[in-house]
């Protein structure tokens, strides 16, 4: 469960975001699957190492079987920097905060 239930902590997290992204339907589906554990054992979108392992061997780096690459796709990442937090919105509602731990183009 990746949900923050404490309203104060959630507000602080939202306030730490430097940019806002309105999710597409596909992105929103992936975010909600991550939040509710449907992509377990993932706790977030895949970084480059994990992505490459799944594409090459259909396994996570820890060797668990996982055949679906789960990435946050964007057309233009030039305005984002590694380490920044992005507020993810779906239909105008705050749904998640994404920390850009890795930015890459496969």
Helix, strand, coil proportions of the chain in percent (round to 5)? 30, 20, 55
Helices (H) and strands (E) in the chain, counts: 3, 3
Q: CA gyration radius for the chain? A: 14
Whole-prediction pTM: 0.88
Distance of CA 68 to the CA centre of its chain: 14
Closest to 22 measured CA to CA, from 78, 74, 88, 71: 88
Is the predicted pLDDT of residue 50 greater than 70, yes or no? yes
How do residues 72-85 score in pLDDT, each as one tens digit? 998 888 888 999 99
Instruction: Let me know: does 56 contact 16? Beta carbons within 8 Å.
Output: no
Residue 42, SS3 per DSSP: coil
How do residues 1-48 score in pLDDT, each as one tens digit? 678 889 999 999 999 999 999 999 999 999 999 999 999 999 999 999
């Amino acid at each position: 469960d990746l949900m923050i239930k404490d309203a104060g902590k959630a507000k602080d997290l939202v306030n730490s975001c430097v940019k806002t992204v309105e999710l597409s339907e596909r992105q929103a589906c992936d975010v909600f699957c991550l939040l509710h554990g449907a992509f377990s054992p993932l706790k977030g979108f895949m970084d480059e190492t994990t992505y490459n392992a799944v594409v090459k061997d259909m396994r996570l780096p820890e060797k668990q079987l996982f055949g679906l690459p789960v990435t946050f796709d964007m057309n233009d990442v030039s305005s984002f920097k590694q380490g920044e937090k992005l507020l993810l919105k779906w239909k105008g509602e705050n749904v998640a905060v994404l920390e850009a731990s890795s930015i890459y183009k496969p």
